[in-house]
Chain A
Amino acid sequence: MSDVVEKTLTALPGLLSLDSQPGSNKLSSSSKLGNLIRGITELTSKHEEEKLIQRELTSIKEQVSSPNTSMRQMKELMVRAIYCEMLGYEASFSYIHAIKLAQQGTAREKRVGYLAVSLFLNESHELLLLLVNTVLKDLQSTNLIEVCMALTVVGQIFPKDMIPAILPLVEEKLNHPKEIIRRKAVLALYKFYLIAPNQVQHIHNKFRKALCDKDPGVMTASLHIYLQLIEENPEGYKDLTTSFVTILKQVVGGKLPMDFNYHSVPAPWLQIQLLRILCLLGKNDQSTSEIMYEVLDESLRRAEINHNITYAILFECVKCIYTIHPKSELLEKAAKCIGNFVLSPKINLKYLGLKALTYVVQQDPKLALQHQMTIIECLDHPDLIIKRETLELLFRITNAQNVTVIVDKMLEFLRINKDDYTTIDLRMERKL
């Protein structure tokens, strides 16, 4: 979008609305929600808080059941009810009104209604059936914002039995000219796949279309579904390997619009999804793995900036390299990477390094030995989490020589940290 349009769009909310703070609508100090929140923060005891909330809830209950309450007032009442529920108090009388708000309100009220429904109800709630009608209506609305809202709610909470009723409508949205709607439709289908996989079987070829969609957002959304499908049946999707490799190449090569950069790394979450998919496809399969070597090498090279997100990508890369059919140059580079992690002073990276070592130690025991001094140091690290990871690692590299020392350390650890450590315990006993 051009600069001018961009600026206009950002300025419009300020011009139109009375709440003219940049982007946000800051609550005026006389608002009811503001008063409630302020009231709560001033109280000191739980008992007083209970009393205040109960009073509030009674007042809300009265107002929601009154026939004179307008939808606009209802919206405000719902927000307060959400707040009370968040603090842990039950406001189930408001659930039905939330659905009504979503049904009857204008777009702004509808949005709060849908939000309230997604926060209040769960998948097995009986009121959910009432929601289905509202959603069906909104999906067919000419107002795109309403379609978006309906798709968002479908992606969050939807009863399994009603999927057949809504499936055709969601399917047709896959071809919508607006990419935000296509993307939300894909995500809604992903949700359907998670809760009722057999209902969505027949539209797999539509996912392929989404994968080739010219908008990267829609394409990324389809990857969630593909990851699930491939996890269950890698063989069926090997023919897509070249497509995935091509996409990853383009992303790493910076061919996506600048918009998708996160701290100058192009589309990191997309890269990670692709790496995970490639990992599953290349496992135990030499020919498929060979297609990926080049792009993995490229990813390793590109991820050199010192930022958490690049380390995250490197970690996935390394994991992928060690899972697929081995190639010595890549393994060397990956080993160096792991070394850097373990030796890093940053505690989060050390954790990842230990985790990676645990993962690769079966294939490359020498790597762990190379870093054994650091590993021993980690044993006495003040942070319990690091200690635990180190123990997991040590357990895997136990041999006849060091078993006594390691078992001693483990027992010591168990003494200070009474957590769910029965797994290590059992494994220990089996080994001994």
Chain B
Amino acid sequence: MIRFLLLFSRQGKLRLQKWFTPMTEREKKKITRDMTTMVLSRQPRSCNFLHWKDLKIIYKRYASLYFCLAIENGENELIALEVIHRYVELLDKYFGNVCELDIIFNFEKAYFILDEFLMGGEIQETSKQMVNRSIEASDMLQETMEEYMSKPAF
């Protein structure tokens, strides 16, 4: 099971955080700090897997963003790496050539996609189309003529 997913920049700024088990705010902050320190200090050509307490941390860097995933001990590390990759592919398909700015300024959309893709710490094996379609359907639905006529809030 996946315990948490964090996205942060090369300077350690948090861009996205998703926790799949209940945690106090203090614990979350500490974990975020630990993760950023650990991952940012890794050499470029080293293994993408780390040990931390009783969990395994899988991380991967895409351009200026680090994706960091924590899995429980019995899980397969390589598949977790592919989970990260799949998420990036989904983001890419949705935003069209995604970059860090897309995720920074539209983080709630990144969350919506994540929620369709991972639920309760497990991946939902749906086709790529399915995830995109459900996001688009939700996006589309809300554009009633009324909203179209008036100015968007943001």
Contact = CB atoms under 8 A, between A and B. Distances in A.
A111 B43 CA distance: 40
A182 to B, nearest CB: 12
Nearest to B98: A24
B63 interface: no
A201 to B, nearest CB: 19
Given A86-B14, A348-B48, A385-B46, A260 B123 contact: no
Given A10-B136, A21-B96, A312 B82 contact: yes
Contacts of A165: none
B36 to A, nearest CB: 12
B78 A191 contact: no
Nearest to B130: A217
A342 interface: no
Interface in B92-133: 93-96, 102, 104-109, 111-112, 115-116, 119-120, 122-130, 132-133
Contacts of B134: 148, 180
Contact of A19 (B47, B86, B152): B152
Given A220-B124, A262-B86, A107 B138 contact: yes
Contact of A37 (B22, B105, B116, B137): B105
A230 interface: no
Contacts of A122: 22-24
Nearest to B150: A72
Given A23-B93, A32-B154, A217-B124, A9 B141 contact: no
A269 B81 CA distance: 12
A309 to B, nearest CB: 5
A90 B29 CA distance: 12
Contacts of A95: none
Contacts of B16: 86
A269 B83 CA distance: 9
Contacts of A31: 154
Contacts of A347: 45-47
Contact of B127 (A10, A25, A184, A259): A259
A156 B115 contact: yes
A351 B47 contact: yes
A369 interface: no
A130 B123 CA distance: 28
Nearest to B97: A22
B137 A145 contact: yes
Contact of A152 (B115, B122, B139): B115
Contacts of B132: 23
Interface in A73-118: 73, 75-76, 79, 82-83, 86-88, 90, 106-108, 111-112, 115, 118
Given A10-B136, A111-B138, A180-B130, A268 B105 contact: no
Given A145-B138, A348-B78, A260 B154 contact: no
Interface string B1-24: 000000000000111110000111
Contact of A348 (B49, B102, B122, B123): B49
A17 B145 CA distance: 9
Nearest to B95: A24
Contacts of A194: 120
Given A348-B49, A352-B78, A17 B143 contact: yes
A316 interface: yes
A152 B91 CA distance: 19
A184 B49 CA distance: 31
B96 A385 contact: no
Contact of B111 (A34, A115, A269, A308): A115
B82 A17 contact: no
Contacts of A216: 125
Given A156-B120, A309-B82, A124 B152 contact: no
19 contacts: A21-B96, A25-B109, A25-B139, A37-B105, A76-B153, A122-B22, A145-B138, A148-B134, A187-B120, A187-B124, A259-B130, A267-B125, A315-B76, A315-B78, A347-B46, A348-B49, A348-B81, A351-B49, A351-B77
Q: Report, nearest first, the 5 A-B pairs whose CB atoms are least far apart.
A: A108-B142, A259-B127, A312-B78, A220-B125, A31-B154
Given A86-B17, A106-B144, A145-B137, 7 more contacts: A13-B143, A28-B154, A33-B154, A122-B24, A152-B115, A187-B119, A309-B78
Interface of A: 9-10, 12-13, 16-19, 21-28, 31-34, 37, 72-73, 75-76, 79, 82-83, 86-88, 90, 106-108, 111-112, 115, 118-119, 122-124, 145, 148-149, 152, 155-156, 180, 183-184, 187, 190-191, 194, 216-217, 220-221, 224, 257, 259-260, 262, 267-270, 272, 308-309, 311-312, 315-316, 347-348, 351-352, 382-383, 385-386, 388, 419-420
